[in-house]
Chain A
Amino acid sequence: MPDTRTRTPGTRSAPAAPDREFTVTERSQGQLVLRRFLQHRAAVVSLGVLVALILLAYVGGLLWKYDPGQYTPDNSVPPSWDHPFGTDSAGRDQFAQVLRGTRISLQVSVSVAVLATLVGTLWGSVAGYFGGKVDTVMMRIADLVLTLPLIAVAAMLSHNFGGSWYLIALVIAGLYWAYVSRVSRGVVLSLREKEFVEAAKALGASDTRIILRHLVPNALGSILVNLTILVALAILLETSLSYLGFGVTPPDTSLGLLVSEAQTALTTRPWLFYFPGLFIIIIALTINFIGDGLRDAFDPQQTKVRQ
């Protein structure tokens, strides 16, 4: 733990503390969260695996000897040193394909999570903060979105508008924001009764300032946890859409599309089916564990049980 007295001046001007018998070090909220996160072993391991996977997809893809669309002379070879994930019937290297699919799937799901979180958080915070009629109308609109099976509406919309990865991301985000708005509304409802909001109001802060400077930062923990889980949900929805034929279309590719293309060859070229599926599972699994760790870190009372 860093000693507060050795801190760079200006960050938090701690007065020169008198020497005490027990040296007490002050910890900021961020340090506490980080400490608790690091104690969650599954989350830390998951974070390591996920970072490694992202590096592999973005950096490894550039360095790998085969390009994703490149036709090699080896048709339908099982995994080997030359082709770690084998090749498809046209001779394309599956490792390069999976790395490209991972990049697109990650881009889709991260864009979805960020977009849906931005819109949903603002929507939910405004509804929760103002309450009354505003709340009723805004949350009814969100409820309307929630009464429909996501995958059905997403399939309908992306059949007519979709194809490229960013359009798919827009479609999915256009449905997921409603979930986020429910979560952030709940948090804001409890926060707005707190004294610091009252104090800000008494000081003459505007509604916009209270929402953006006081409510949203305090709800950040829940929002962040939700964002990670949203990434996992979005990657699963994107793969399902691509499998049904309403997601990313060639020449783009995604992990879901790769599995979908491989399902007829499950007995003859099983490696085409297993590796992209494995990557989907690894990404969604690690993100869920990270989300779990973050939840424990931000709100230890929620999971730690009183003994």
Chain B
Amino acid sequence: MLAFAVRRILYSIPVLIVSSFIIFALGSASADPLAPLREKNPPAPQNVIDAEYVRLHLDQPLLQRYFSWLGGIFTGDFGPSVVSTANIGHDLGDRFLVTIRLIALAMLIALILAVVIGVLTAVKQYSKFDYAATFVGFLFLAMPAFWFAILLKQAGISFNSALGTQAIYTIGQSSVPPPRGAGPYVVDIIGHMILPTISLALISYAAWSRFTRASMLEVMNSDYVRLARAKGLPRRTVMVKHGLRTALIPLTTVTALDIASIIGGAVVTETVFQWKGMGDYLLTAIRTNDVYATASWLLLAATVVIAFNLIADLLYGVLDPRIRYA
């Protein structure tokens, strides 16, 4: 097991390196960081442009730029941003902490929803509840994340104006300035998280609940579950102890594989609720042709995705004793 873990981690490293090169090359080839400066009105003086040219390492060839960027990351230096005072590593770290709480909580809620609804629809297959839940699931699968988020936000605004007070926060990841004291600070953060989390969780749960249903149905019709029932074990015990445990194993892989699309969903959700999180950071970086910031963002996202896949692989081995990592 340990040997397998080490081997998988070692194997992830070349993937990350190749991926980082593609990210960097694509970003550098497609965007000109000096374009906003050149198109400025009135035009920026030539010596400013020249200084920026050198500061952003544009005088170096692509490969050299890439390797100095990659080398710098190990010392916490993510390269120069087009905003000369900005520190990409520092900013990205702050934004990551904001976004990760949205993603983690939304995923947790989505998983709980998916398992509960998936199991209930499988146990009561072809019942009215099954049909209703299936339809709702399909509806969420077909709904653009931002459309639903905007609707929720509007509902929150209407709720607030009906109440006459600010009961639900609809904008930002925390109040500006944040309230003093640890207690009010946490309450404030949680208050801001409610709507975005619900929005992201509901958009994400549907695919997983369909998967849980299919996987649960398969297990329920397997021979060993029939045997357990034949031995006279109560239905509920068989469902939970024999059925659910087995049915949930493949869900770990599916969840891990979906992390990239959840990050994408978070970008959209954050934009709707005007969070200063990773989404806003990425979009601003792309708009301002901030090549190093964009590449660092994508590298961070790729690292998270690869780490998730790694965890899923290891978990799979723990959950499913049939799998032996030789």
Contact = CB atoms under 8 A, between A and B. Distances in A.
A246 interface: yes
B144 interface: yes
A287 B72 CA distance: 47
Contacts of B264: 149-152, 240
Contacts of B141: 232, 284-285, 288
A180 B325 CA distance: 28
B19 interface: yes
A244 interface: yes
A157 B26 CA distance: 8
A65 interface: no
B30 A156 contact: yes
B301 A244 contact: no
B19 A152 contact: no
A143 interface: yes
B287 A159 contact: yes
Contacts of B217: 305
Contacts of B302: 147-148
B298 A151 contact: no
A155 B286 contact: yes
Contacts of A143: 15
Interface stretch (B47-55, B59-67, B146-154, B191-199): B146-154
Contacts of A283: 142
Contact of B138 (A157, A288, A305): A288
Q: In which size bucket is the chain B interface?
A: 35 or more
Interface in B287-311: 287, 294, 297-298, 301-302, 305-306
Contacts of B143: 280-281, 284
Contacts, number: 125
A162 to B, nearest CB: 10
B239 interface: no
Contacts of A153: 26, 298
Interface in B246-268: 260-261, 263-264, 267-268
A152 B286 CA distance: 9
A246 B286 contact: yes
B237 to A, nearest CB: 21
Interface stretch (A14-22, A108-116, A259-267): A259-267
A62 B221 CA distance: 53
Interface string B261-283: 10110011001000000000011
17 contacts: A147-B260, A149-B305, A152-B301, A155-B282, A155-B283, A156-B286, A156-B294, A157-B30, A240-B268, A243-B144, A243-B268, A244-B271, A246-B286, A259-B144, A259-B147, A267-B154, A305-B218
B233 interface: no
Contacts of A267: 154
Given A155-B282, A160-B31, A285-B138, 12 more contacts: A140-B15, A151-B264, A151-B267, A152-B267, A152-B301, A153-B298, A243-B144, A243-B271, A244-B267, A260-B146, A281-B142, A281-B144
Nearest to B12: A147
Q: Of residues A245, A259, A303, A305, which shows the largest number of chain B Cβ atoms within 10 Å of its Cβ?
A: A305
Interface string A151-192: 111011101110000000000000000000000000000000
A273 interface: yes
